[in-house]
Amino acid sequence: MRILLSNDDGILAPGLAALYRAVVDLGEVVVVAPSHPQSAAGHAITLRSPLTVQQVGLGAGREAFTALSVDGRPADCVRLAVRKLLPAPVDLVLAGINAGANVGINIFYSGTVAAAAEAAMLRLPAVAFSADVGAQEVDFDRAAGLCRWVLDRLLACGLHPGQLVNVNIPVLGPDRPRGVRVVPQSTAGVEDSYHRQEHPQGLESYRLGDSFSFAPAEGLTDVACLEEGYVTITPLKVDLTDPPRLDKLAEAQKTWPALPGQ
Ligand code: MN
Distance (Å) from CA 97 to ligand 1 centroid: 8
Q: What is the pLDDT of residues 37-93, one digit of tens each?
A: 999 999 999 999 999 999 999 988 888 999 999 999 999 999 999 999 998 899 999
Q: What is the pLDDT of residue 156?
A: 98
What residues does each domain of the chain span? 2-186+218-253
Distance (Å) from CA 112 to ligand 1 centroid: 6
Q: What is the pLDDT of residues 121-167, one digit of tens each?
A: 999 999 999 999 999 999 999 999 999 999 999 999 999 999 999 99
Q: What is the pLDDT of residue 137?
A: 93
Q: What is the pLDDT of residue 217?
A: 72
Q: What is the pLDDT of residue 9?
A: 97
Q: What is the pLDDT of residue 244?
A: 96
Distance (Å) from CA 9 to ligand 1 centroid: 4
Q: What is the pLDDT of residue 60?
A: 84
Distance (Å) from CA 261 to ligand 1 centroid: 50
Q: What is the pLDDT of residue 247?
A: 97
- Please state the rounded mean pLDDT for residues 205-217: 88
Distance (Å) from CA 37 to ligand 1 centroid: 7
Q: What is the pLDDT of residue 211?
A: 85
Distance (Å) from CA 220 to ligand 1 centroid: 25
Q: What is the pLDDT of residue 186?
A: 95
Buried b (16+ CB within 10 A) or exposed e, 2-38: ebbbbbbbbbebbbbbbbbbbbeebeebbbbbbbebb
Distance (Å) from CA 28 to ligand 1 centroid: 24
Verdict on whether the full-model pTM lies above 0.85: yes
Distance (Å) from CA 250 to ligand 1 centroid: 39
CATH architecture under which domain 2-186+218-253 falls:
3-Layer(aba) Sandwich (3.40)
Distance (Å) from CA 5 to ligand 1 centroid: 14
Distance (Å) from CA 15 to ligand 1 centroid: 10
Q: What is the pLDDT of residue 67?
A: 96
Q: What is the pLDDT of residue 101?
A: 97
* pLDDT reading at 13 higher than 90: yes
Question: φ, ψ for residue 140 (rounded to 5)?
Answer: -65, -30
Q: What is the pLDDT of residues 226-260, one digit of tens each?
A: 999 999 999 999 999 999 999 999 999 999 999 99
> Lowest-pLDDT range, 24-33, 185-194, 213-222?
213-222
Q: Kindly state the percentage of the chain with pLDDT values over 90.
A: 92
* pLDDT reading at 218 higher than 90: no
Q: What is the pLDDT of residue 63?
A: 84
